[in-house]
Structure 1
Amino acid sequence: MTSSSASQSAAQPGPRRRTVMAAAGAGAVALSVGSPGTSPAAAVTSADAEAAAVSRPPRPGTGWQRYVQGPASRTVRPVRVLGSTGDVRNPPALLKPGGAATTLRRPQPSPAPRWPEGTTAEASSTHAGNNGNDGQPRTYDAANAIDGNPDTFWNDDTLAAFPDVLTITMPDARQLSGITVISNSDGVPTAFTVDAWVNDAWKTVATVTDNDVIQRAVPFAASVTTNRVRITVTAVQDTSRGAFTRINEVWPEPVEPVVAPSVTVDFGKVVVGYPRIRFTSASDNSPGVRVAFSETQQFLTERSDFTRSDQSGGAGRGTDQFAVPAKGADWTDHKGFQAGDKVYADGLHGFRYLRIALDALDSDAPAAQPWGTVAIDSVSLDFTAYVGTPGTYRGWFLCSDDDLNRYWYGAAYTNELVTDTFRQDDVDPRNAWSASLEGKLVLHDGAKRDRDPYVGDLAVSARTLYLTHDDTAAAARNVLADLADHQRADGWIPPASISSYTLPLFDYPLWWVTCSWDYVLYTGDRAYAAQYYPNLLKVLDTWYPSVTDEAGLLSKGLNNTGGYGDYAFLGRTGRITYYNALYVQALKDAAQLARLLGHSADATRWAQRADTVTEAINTHLWDAAAGAYLDSATGPARHAQDGNALAVTAGIADADRSASALAHLDGTTQLPYGNAFMDNDTLFDGASERVYAFTSYPEIEARFIAGRADSALDQIRRTYGWMDSHDPGITNWEGIGPDGSLYEDAYTSMAHGWSTGVLPALTHQLLGARPTSPGYATWEVRPNPGDVAWAQGQLPTPHGALRVSWQNTGNTFRLDVDVPDGTRATVALPVNGHRMTVRSRNRLLWDGRHASDGRASIVDGRVTIPGLAPGTYTFTARHTG
């Protein structure tokens, strides 16, 4: 799930990964050089490169294990020290527990300068006050900048309209040599001037540009005698919530900050869990440490890129706090206060980089002090998510393209990070906790945030789970069942537990339908289907008809749904192709579920409704001039990735329209980092530069389905290649913004389950294996090789392992299939049957014109062999001329 913010900032591009193939005993091995997301790679020799030309595919079941990213145990340690500041001795010792300690030292600071009694302050504008989480009023007026309390601040009310002016007036004139400006981390003035009232006129005494520090000493060119000082802010650091000025304190002297001693460690990839720091000793003044976390170096600062307390009152002001006892402590970061209402920690974090600083919040005194000495033995993490090791993978994938292998296992690891137990202290604080989910395994949307199970995200992340660790399929069932149990009286199903199950989304009840079918399709859990069939009836036959117009199309705005959002909180109303294409898919999936349970009348009704909606989409939402489906029937013409892709995958678009729509997306949305989800900016500024892997997944599938495997692979390589080769590496981002940036700055989740579609796409479409009826009772193998020379993999089924392996050369396509007991398979070879012969072992099945035994036939241009009983099969197709 994503938030509604549309702000982005450019990310620093990382080096592209260079890969070469090297021979190994088990097959081809990829060695990576220069990736910011991985540990240093081994050197590659020229002999290795030469061996690549003669390397052979790995044997089935071997070679893929090297790509697995999960930790070896639940205790995870950093892989390197990234850097340190201030007085830090022996930083590398943090990586070696039980040896010498890392020591941080900081002298006791002098008292802060104070303005004379009677000094006042006024501002050009002031943001209105409000109440904090404790119910107490918060004010943001100018007086906060001179009250001696750095926890309060002046906040302007102009939101990016400059200048912002703060004027400080003393009761009597005095000599000033400068001032110090202390600002809030999310309102730092980057450019400002300081004027003094001298000889009945304002005189500029200092100009500051390119400021990026919270405590800025501003010495004057020469001392002045004055009773008034004016600070004029002309620029501030932009944030995801806009640009505004926040000044916590102004001191009447220039005071250079004493650099807080800090050390930053790198865990090598995004991890999730409870940070743990072993302190061996400390000075006897309760020195504090502030621990900051970030998924990227770009947003690695003195505060975390995100903390849950930011959404629940900001008790920790962006860091987790701990006051170190003199005898030391083995501290595990859990949510709560260490001393009364002081020294707060947020608990679980998702991050790659961890920064420990000897520092403390002023509000935490005297329980924690920002000075003293602290000795640290080691840093680690108690990993809470699913631990994916080579031994736990029940499904795997491997092919001749090392990049694709890396993307598949990067997606698997991303999904492991969000497969976790629902715990009250660790979920989104915006009323997401639910007693009905507490203690259950779930699929959260992100490792860092929102940490709540959203059903739309399951449309991708649950498929990834079923194909890797299907023994934890309960994680998907728990979410689907819980949301159904909270169905509204009118049939609407909530998208998540957030906001006490009331977040109004228009599309997510449809995703509940499709995800419920997916769950039954992959697991065969008929009991779930029967138990929640009444919920299916209610959402499809009560709620969605209430938002259906005279043409049979869903129209957001009907039945008071104008304010409802969707997966990206987009401001779309009326007839939207995406909603209606998803509706068609949900109706078709529901019809299959109805047939499974013997409700033939419901199945027929839903199938007929799907046909009606399909016809209406093609009548009212097809843009013949553009050759693509409109995003919306009203407003400026634009064409969206979501609607056009789903129109193909749901079978709404025929072959001609599929080809045309995908060609339109080719010509209007291609970017170096994927395909944009809109072809222009009429919805919001920057829409044509934003990439969602969530909506890219159905487009990638659509390209495979439409016979455009090369373009599907190109899209995969651009989208996932960008994420893989840029910080933090390996994991899949929530969204990508202009120029490949983090689309919501520091708030962006860099390990998001809804972005893992590359994994099911490669397994189901490239390898070609997928279930066609519940529990894999029937399944098919329909490879789409593109430019890939070979692929192999295993799919876990309730009946045992389903194994597929193929090799594709210029003249021959060979396919090996293991059909588990209790299942039946269909094979559709990606060959032109009129120019190929097909054999199974030594038996001729197809002679280039017709079948020798009557079983093989040409279906959709492929030689297709249905009804394969359990056993092991080899098919070889060769050119006849």
Structure 2
Amino acid sequence: MFTHSPRSALLAATYQLGFSLLLSLFPCAADSQYTSSEATSSWQRYVRAPPSRLVRPKAILSQYTQGSVVNPEGLLTGTGPPTLLLRMSSDGGGNASSSSSSSSTATIAPTLVIDFGQNVVGQPVIEFAGAANTSSTGGWGGSGGGRFPGLQLAFSESLEFLSNRSDFTRSDNAGGIAVKSQPYTWIDQWSCEFDDKVCSDGLHGFRYLKITLDALSEDSPYTSAYGYVSISSIRLQWSGYLGTPETYSGWFECSDEDLTQWWYDGSYTTEMCTDVFRANDTEPRQAYSDSLMDKVVIHDGPKRDRDPYMGDLAVSALTMKLMTPLSNNYGLGLFDYPLWWVSCSWDLVMYTGNLSYIQAYYPTLLSVLDNYYVQNTDNSTSLLLRPPGYGDYAFIPRDGSAAYYSALYVLALKRAADLADRLGEFRDAARWRDRASRASRAVLDVLWDDGAGAFLDRRCEGCAAAHAQDGNSLAILAGIAGPARAASALAYLANATARPWGNAFYDGGGEALGPGFSDRVYAFISYFETAARFEQEQQTANVPTTMANTTTTTTTTGSTGTGIGGTAIDQLRRTYGWMSRRDPGATFWEGVGGPDGAKYQGAFTSLAHGWSTGVTPLLTTYVLGVKPLGPGFAVWAVKPPPPGRGRGNGEEELRWARGEVPTPQGPLRVSWERGSGSSSGNGAGGAEAVGMEIRVRAPPGTSGTVSVPAAPGDAEGKGALLNGVAGVGVLGADGYVVFEVQGGGGGGGGGEQEEHVVGYPPRGEKREAERGW
């Protein structure tokens, strides 16, 4: 039975798929006065998880059925007559071997393909009703050469790579069953039936299962390619987190059904990756560790890399459950991951309020920042230097001072300083902020490229003049790039890296580092660029901004859905729309490669990879608009996107969003809605006063801010209402009117009350039907 680890332990082991996602999978505080069952149930139709841990297939793909297969549809229900696969040799004998070495006179191997409807993870369970091989005299018996009729299983996440070999397998000789004559239940376990012959891989992540009555020559003398096999039913024993609607304590929905579905697809992808760590399914990297046995961890993917190192999830292996040294001689030196651990530790505190975690690991924090990275700093520039022999999240061959490492370093230092302040370690906080300032200045001085208007990947003799997605995105999120440089860098990436399947992680200069780099899209690192775009859009919501550097000048109007405005949603649509419209659907790929947007590593590519689920926290944070500002959401902010987002390429503007984010104090519920009318033109409200209403219900004991885009003509923001009262908000430089509110029940006006209503009521228009709770 699947068991939960403490929520804080799982949250410590994740970053981007992180907090709005995994918090959606774990219950709120037990004493909360609200429960998700009170909320509208329309979001539940988007949930992908199967209803139970025993999963039945959805379809038989008849175009792949060949040979003598009787009643294949019986496998879908497990009732009625069994499915029969029958194969006779031309001479009636049973001594011919497999299709890999069979005679030309052999009959067609009976074959069928089962479709589970979407990617699934677990162990197939087959109920056999009986079997026999063909005897040497042509009759039925169990003695024909001492062989059992052989069944070959091949698994694949996509039809593109469905063949007689699984798209990922431990061995080309795996996937066999020696089917016994009497009825019995077979469960796919990592084992061999006869010494090192007739072997199975065990747990699989897949959508399609190909079943063939056949035998490998390597499995001789135990299996025969001839005879019959009778199957009563096939099911999957689900092994991942079973994220049924009743397990969700956080949720999301908006006016765009694609975006809404992708939120739940990201959640489902992560559910497939969340599983108990077992010693027998850690291939291919032999990452066994006694410290992890029987604990719930987030694997990189369900099909392969079922390892607890959190590289593909951009988190550190140095969390509370993952910090002990790995045994079995497994080592993978990744220069950036300790910095991700620092950043994730800050997220853990902000989303759960678990300060005891960082107190326990504060000595590790000191060691990481004041020893390891200090030793790997270029004292002449203050930039980090990646030593030879180390990799990073994509194993990019770029030793030296890449912008990505130093930008991530600045982000980690700033977040560590905030944690140090909360623990009263003010000297450490001051030292880390000073170092972050020096590293920021170095990134600007050494790596900013005036000609391109973006940050170089590296500047060194013999280095390619490449501009990378990671360094530019993190330089913006870390606060290294000011508004002008941030807008310029994002415009450069949009022009140089945009592909129909997302934004590539390098411009054309990246081809010197690896073939196809300028076409390859990682949804993982795209998360940070998309977040940077959302941040930039909010900061430039109202006023046209001129971004200038020494050689380029670009003007964007934030509310038009062009330029910087609207590009975050556009990037989401290209990145996740490409994957969702292609086999296997419902889950997100490890990487997309060019020049045609294919699976970037062919059959080996994981098509359900946790690091690609950033769409879920992005939509919660920037479309619903919810962020923590204090540990455990004690202080929070609600800031929906400015109008015009979602428009372009024939797409309609986002009109409303609603959802719930669980906190230690209880759920934080938010809904917002715009009235009908045009939102084009300068100013967040657009040419017409379309109106916008935000509703927030926060748990008791918390406080926060609710920000609404200022309407045109409201130069001081005094027209915005808080619970029917005007003139109590403050207009910020970003064009939002900000209101301070308290959570909980009772009170009125701007004080404590159950629900706060903020915004501009539509003029001359009846508000749409209640989108309440």
Q: TM-score range by the shorter chain?
A: 0.7 to 0.9
Which residue of the partner structure matches residue 366 of structure 1? 221
> Is structure 2 residue 550 aligned with structure 1 residue 717?
no
AA aligned to 1:821 is P
Which residue of the partner structure matches residue 704 of structure 1? 534
User: Higher mean Cα deviation, 541-550 or 516-525?
Assistant: 516-525
Task: Measure the CA separation in 2 of the matches of 1:830 and 1:479.
Answer: 41
Task: Choose from 741, 746, 754 the match for 2:603.
Answer: 746
Identity of aligned residues (%): 47
Matches within 5 A, 1:627-666: 627-634=453-460, 635-666=463-494
> Is structure 2 residue 272 aligned with structure 1 residue 272?
no
Cα deviation for residue 257 of structure 1 reads 5.7
> Is structure 2 residue 400 aligned with structure 1 residue 574?
yes
The count of residues paired between Structure 1 and Structure 2 equals 646
- CA 1:459–1:570 in structure 2 vs 1: closer, same or farther (change >3 Å)? closer
Task: Choose from 686, 691, 700 the match for 2:516.
Answer: 686
Which residue of the partner structure matches residue 161 of structure 2? 299
Q: Is 1:835–1:880's contact at 8 Å kept on the other side of the alignment?
A: no
> Is structure 2 residue 569 aligned with structure 1 residue 727?
no
Cα deviation for residue 499 of structure 1 reads 6.6
Q: Is 2:298–2:310's contact at 8 Å kept on the other side of the alignment?
A: no
Q: Is 1:856–1:866's contact at 8 Å kept on the other side of the alignment?
A: no
Task: Measure the CA separation in 1 of the matches of 2:505 and 2:691.
Answer: 38
Which residue of the partner structure matches residue 508 of structure 1? 337
> Unaligned 5+ residue runs, structure 1?
1-58, 113-147, 151-213, 216-248, 461-475, 487-496, 846-850
Task: Choose from 109, 124, 140 the match for 1:260.
Answer: 109
> Is structure 2 residue 40 aligned with structure 1 residue 65?
no
Kindly provide the CA deviation profile for residues 129-169 of structure 1, in whole angstroms up to 9, marking residues without a partner as x.
Answer: xxxxxxxxxxxxxxxxxxx999xxxxxxxxxxxxxxxxxxx
Cα deviation for residue 459 of structure 1 reads 4.2
Which residue of the partner structure matches residue 21 of structure 1? none
Matches within 5 A, 1:66-85: 66-83=45-62, 84-85=65-66
> Is structure 2 residue 485 aligned with structure 1 residue 485?
no
Which residue of the partner structure matches residue 680 of structure 2? none
Q: Is 1:789–1:808's contact at 8 Å kept on the other side of the alignment?
A: yes
Which residue of the partner structure matches residue 542 of structure 1? 371
> Is structure 2 residue 644 aligned with structure 1 residue 799?
no
Task: Measure the CA separation in 1 of the matches of 2:349 and 2:492.
Answer: 35
Matches within 5 A, 1:768-847: 768-785=625-642, 786=645, 787-809=653-675, 810=677, 811-831=690-710, 834=715, 836=717, 837-845=719-727
Task: Choose from 755, 760, 780 the match for 2:617.
Answer: 760
Cα deviation for residue 483 of structure 1 reads 3.6
Q: Is 1:520–1:775's contact at 8 Å kept on the other side of the alignment?
A: yes
Task: Choose from 419, 423, 429 the match for 1:593.
Answer: 419
Task: Measure the CA separation in 2 of the matches of 1:111 and 1:85.
Answer: 20
Task: Measure the CA separation in 2 of the matches of 1:267 and 1:774.
Answer: 42
Find runs of 4+ consecutive structure 1 residues off by over 6 angstroms: 109-112
Which residue of the partner structure matches residue 100 of structure 1? 81
Task: Measure the CA separation in 2 of the matches of 1:500 and 1:723.
Answer: 36
- CA 1:706–1:600 in structure 2 vs 1: closer, same or farther (change >3 Å)? same
Give the strand-richer structure, 1 or 2: 1
AA aligned to 1:814 is E
Matches within 5 A, 1:334-483: 334-459=189-314, 480-483=319-322
Kindly provide the CA deviation profile for residues 113-132 of structure 1, in whole angstroms up to 9, marking residues without a partner as x.
Answer: xxxxxxxxxxxxxxxxxxxx
Kindly provide the CA deviation profile for residues 5-34 of structure 1, in whole angstroms up to 9, marking residues without a partner as x.
Answer: xxxxxxxxxxxxxxxxxxxxxxxxxxxxxx
Q: TM-score, normalised by structure 2?
A: 0.80
Task: Measure the CA separation in 2 of the matches of 1:109 and 1:727.
Answer: 39
Task: Choose from 619, 622, 646 the match for 2:445.
Answer: 619
Kindly provide the CA deviation profile for residues 545-601 of structure 1, in whole angstroms up to 9, marking residues without a partner as x.
Answer: 1110024544445xxx21211101110111101111111111111112212221111
- CA 1:100–1:149 in structure 2 vs 1: closer, same or farther (change >3 Å)? closer
Task: Measure the CA separation in 2 of the matches of 1:835 and 1:262.
Answer: 72
Cα deviation for residue 429 of structure 1 reads 4.3
- CA 1:600–1:500 in structure 2 vs 1: closer, same or farther (change >3 Å)? farther
- CA 1:87–1:840 in structure 2 vs 1: closer, same or farther (change >3 Å)? same
Task: Measure the CA separation in 2 of the matches of 1:407 and 1:257.
Answer: 48
> Is structure 2 residue 436 aligned with structure 1 residue 610?
yes
Q: Is 1:556–1:562's contact at 8 Å kept on the other side of the alignment?
A: no
Q: Is 2:576–2:588's contact at 8 Å kept on the other side of the alignment?
A: yes
- CA 1:273–1:610 in structure 2 vs 1: closer, same or farther (change >3 Å)? same
Which residue of the partner structure matches residue 361 of structure 2? 532
Q: Is 1:840–1:874's contact at 8 Å kept on the other side of the alignment?
A: yes
Cα deviation for residue 719 of structure 1 reads 0.6
Task: Measure the CA separation in 2 of the matches of 1:867 and 1:530.
Answer: 31
- CA 1:429–1:762 in structure 2 vs 1: closer, same or farther (change >3 Å)? same
Cα deviation for residue 864 of structure 1 reads 1.1
Cα deviation for residue 709 of structure 1 reads 5.1
Secondary structure, aligned partner of 1:98: coil
Cα deviation for residue 262 of structure 1 reads 1.4
Task: Choose from 484, 489, 497 the match for 1:669.
Answer: 497
> Unaligned 5+ residue runs, structure 2?
1-37, 133-141, 538-563, 646-652, 678-689, 745-753, 765-773
- CA 1:570–1:258 in structure 2 vs 1: closer, same or farther (change >3 Å)? farther
AA aligned to 1:66 is R
Secondary structure, aligned partner of 1:688: coil
Q: Is 2:289–2:328's contact at 8 Å kept on the other side of the alignment?
A: no
Q: Is 1:107–1:371's contact at 8 Å kept on the other side of the alignment?
A: yes
Secondary structure, aligned partner of 1:363: helix
Q: TM-score, normalised by structure 1?
A: 0.71
Kindly provide the CA deviation profile for residues 417-455 of structure 1, in whole angstroms up to 9, marking residues without a partner as x.
Answer: 011111111222422111100000111111111111233
- CA 1:450–1:709 in structure 2 vs 1: closer, same or farther (change >3 Å)? farther
Cα deviation for residue 485 of structure 1 reads 3.0
Q: Is 1:419–1:441's contact at 8 Å kept on the other side of the alignment?
A: yes
User: Higher mean Cα deviation, 802-811 or 69-78?
Assistant: 802-811
Which residue of the partner structure matches residue 130 of structure 1? none
AA aligned to 1:481 is M
- CA 1:709–1:769 in structure 2 vs 1: closer, same or farther (change >3 Å)? farther
Task: Measure the CA separation in 2 of the matches of 1:651 and 1:582.
Answer: 11
Q: Which is greater in Rg?
A: 1
Secondary structure, aligned partner of 2:224: coil
- CA 1:835–1:419 in structure 2 vs 1: closer, same or farther (change >3 Å)? same
Matches within 5 A, 1:489-500: 497=326, 500=329
Kindly provide the CA deviation profile for residues 196-234 of structure 1, in whole angstroms up to 9, marking residues without a partner as x.
Answer: xxxxxxxxxxxxxxxxxx86xxxxxxxxxxxxxxxxxxx
- CA 1:479–1:357 in structure 2 vs 1: closer, same or farther (change >3 Å)? farther
Cα deviation for residue 109 of structure 1 reads 7.0
Q: Is 1:709–1:784's contact at 8 Å kept on the other side of the alignment?
A: no
Task: Measure the CA separation in 2 of the matches of 1:864 and 1:873.
Answer: 13
